[in-house]
Amino acid sequence: MRLTQIKIGDLTAPVNVFLAPLAGYTNAVFREMCYNLGAGLTYTEMVSAKGLCHGSKKTEDMLYVTPSYGGIKACQIFGSDPEYMRRACESEALKPFGIIDLNMGCPMPKIYKNGEGSELLKNLDLASKIISECKKSGKIITVKCRTGVDEYSPVTAEFARMCEASGADMITVHGRSRDKIYSGDVNMREIAAAKNAVNIPVIANGGVFTPADADKLMIKTGADGVMIARGALFNPWIFAEITGRETGDKGKAVSDQIAATRETMGERFACVFMRKLIGFYVKGKDGATSLRVRLLGCKTTEELQSVVQTIEF
């Protein structure tokens, strides 16, 4: 795919291949790993604006950034109350972040039924007010959305124009409607419609598992860049593959990730999180099922390290 820098507000991402915010996965160590492999921008998993306003320690812990992280600090927040969203942007917890992304695309029932995430695709006036309020914080504001709540009523171009008019500095479009969750084909026409409707950068998201997928998405949509979600969970080295960097020793990278996750988030979290993540890494490999059984049987990160030494990544 065509690699370029992207100007987002007054910041510039070094390359137009981004890591998506992924609930439960894009913690500080994983984000740094993807950045070092070539991701031009990485977002935290989504955090609650109300949680930030009420000083929730659990919420704030999700915003941790490793001291050695060298990229632009970007986080994603969700909510439907414009005042809470603005206050979150202005909070001390978000002070280190240069870019704040507003989640207007999460399809999960708990979020949707609460009037948040992709529910905002049905209420452009409220979505516009949220963006405008957040811009008052002085932060660079980006928006991640879907094509609509169902495939029969796309709102992508109209929603993109509203985002730009309300002050958004960039839009990422996941090319599926809310009802599709993560299944079905990516609607590249709708992403292209958003790109053709606005002058701010538009990033295409959905269905990128290989460099060829990224290339196709860019060509078919005319987008300014791609954002990778589940593809990065199965293969974080995809960023190196797309950007032309060396993938390095993958086994060592996984071993280092286990150690860094343990150091940053503790033994218990590291063991549970990494055995699940490594289970993704080995998908499609010979003996993957038995490997996952061995991984799930690990009770400590030391045991995990022993299993990793036997895997041909």
Nearest to 102 by CA among 55, 94, 54: 94
Reading the block at residue 227, the tokens are: 């954002």
Buried b (16+ CB within 10 A) or exposed e, 26-48: bbbbbbbbbbbbbbbbbbbbbbb
Burial class for 153, CB neighbours closer than 10 Å (0-12, 13-18, 19+): exposed
Residues with pLDDT less than 70, the chain: none
Percent of residues, the chain, with pLDDT higher than 90:
93
pLDDT digits (tens, 9 = 90+) for 186-204: 999 999 999 999 999 999 9
pLDDT (0 to 100) of residue 183? 87
pLDDT (0 to 100) of residue 44? 98
pLDDT (0 to 100) of residue 181? 87
Contacts from 212-216 at CB under 8 Å and sequence distance 24+? Answer: 214/1, 214/17, 214/242, 215/1
User: Quick one: how far is CA 298 from the chain centroid?
Assistant: 28
52 by DSSP, 3-state: which?
A: helix
Residues in the chain: 313
What is the C-alpha to C-alpha distance for residues 130 and 104, in angstroms, rounded to an integer?
Answer: 10
User: What are the extents of the domains in the chain?
Assistant: 6-243, 250-308
The secondary structure element, H or E, covering residue 73 is strand 73-78
pLDDT (0 to 100) of residue 281? 96
pLDDT (0 to 100) of residue 168? 98
pTM of the model: 0.96
Report the catalytic residues: 106
Angle, in degrees to the nearest 10, between helices 211-221 and 188-197: 50
pLDDT (0 to 100) of residue 65? 97
Contacts of 103 (CB under 8 A, 6+ apart): 21, 46, 76, 77, 78, 111, 116, 117, 144
DSSP state of 94: G
Q: What kind of fold does domain 6-243 have according to CATH?
A: TIM Barrel (3.20.20)
Check: CB of residue 187 under 8 Å from CB of residue 158: no
DSSP state of 139: -
